[in-house]
A and B are shown apart, each in its own frame.
Chain A
Amino acid sequence: EVQLVESGGGLVQPGRSLKLSCAASGFTFSDYNMAWVRQAPKKGLEWVATISYDGSSTYYRDSVKGRFTISRDNAKSTLYLQMDSLRSEDTATYYCARHAADYWGQGVMVTVSS
């Protein structure tokens, strides 16, 4: 059974950093491109970042470029999202998903507020 379990969320002040993790199981993690998708409270879904199966290629939406870094450790079957210089508009539930968007984690809440 495919499982994606996010962790690392919480309350953080504007300008500070937070690192999200996503532990994958039930499939060969190193075979799949992976992604982070977010959803602000009571809002729709927004694709944030993508990473290729081997980590050689990444994509970021414009609003997070230069502030967020997606990475992975295939030996640990874990996906990461390093979020720096956080802004109030980054407040959202962050979901880890396979790039095909077929399987999603349960999500982790990030609140950016002073």
Chain B
Amino acid sequence: DVVLTQTPVSLLISLGGQASISCRSSQSLVHSNGNTYLHWYLQKPGQSPQLLIYQVSNRFSGIPDRFSGSGSGTDFTLKISRVEPEDLGVYYCLQRTHNPPTFGGGTKLELK
């Protein structure tokens, strides 16, 4: 199975600050069709995960432009600028390029 390694495990950020989360894959996430199925989610306490970014860099419907994704191949990054209270929770990356789909271990974003 593809292993996704997320760093850091936890992040202390001040309101209005910027956060950066890394997701590294054990193998390339470029599909044979040329697409890269690497997505980012936020899970707030007591809620199901919500999609933020799909296919590396595309913001899902209703997601503010404070969230941005980048990367290629095996190295991917989620950036959150101007952190707001509703951004707190656990962030996960997910790859759907290879079967089975696998998730990163999660990064907990907390207020400093």
Contacts and interface: CB of A to CB of B under 8 A. Distances in A.
Interface of A: 35, 44-47, 59, 61, 95, 99-107
Main DSSP-derived SS at the B contact region: loop
29 contacts: A35-B101, A44-B92, A44-B104, A44-B105, A44-B106, A45-B49, A45-B92, A45-B94, A45-B103, A46-B103, A47-B100, A47-B101, A47-B102, A59-B99, A59-B100, A61-B100, A95-B48, A95-B49, A99-B96, A101-B39, A101-B41, A101-B94, A101-B96, A101-B101, A102-B54, A102-B60, A103-B51, A104-B48, A106-B48
Nearest to B51: A102
Contacts of A46: 103
Interface of B: 39, 41, 47-51, 54, 60, 92, 94, 96, 99-106
Nearest to A61: B100
Contacts of B96: 99-101
Contacts, number: 41
Nearest to B96: A101
A93 to B, nearest CB: 8
A61 B60 CA distance: 27
A52 to B, nearest CB: 13
Contacts of A102: 51, 54, 60
Given A45-B49, A61-B100, 11 more contacts: A44-B104, A44-B106, A47-B102, A47-B103, A59-B100, A95-B48, A99-B96, A101-B39, A101-B41, A101-B51, A102-B60
Overall SS of chain A's interface = loop
Contacts of A103: 51
A95 B50 CA distance: 12
A45 B94 CA distance: 9
Contacts of B92: 44-45
B48 A107 contact: yes
A47 B94 CA distance: 10
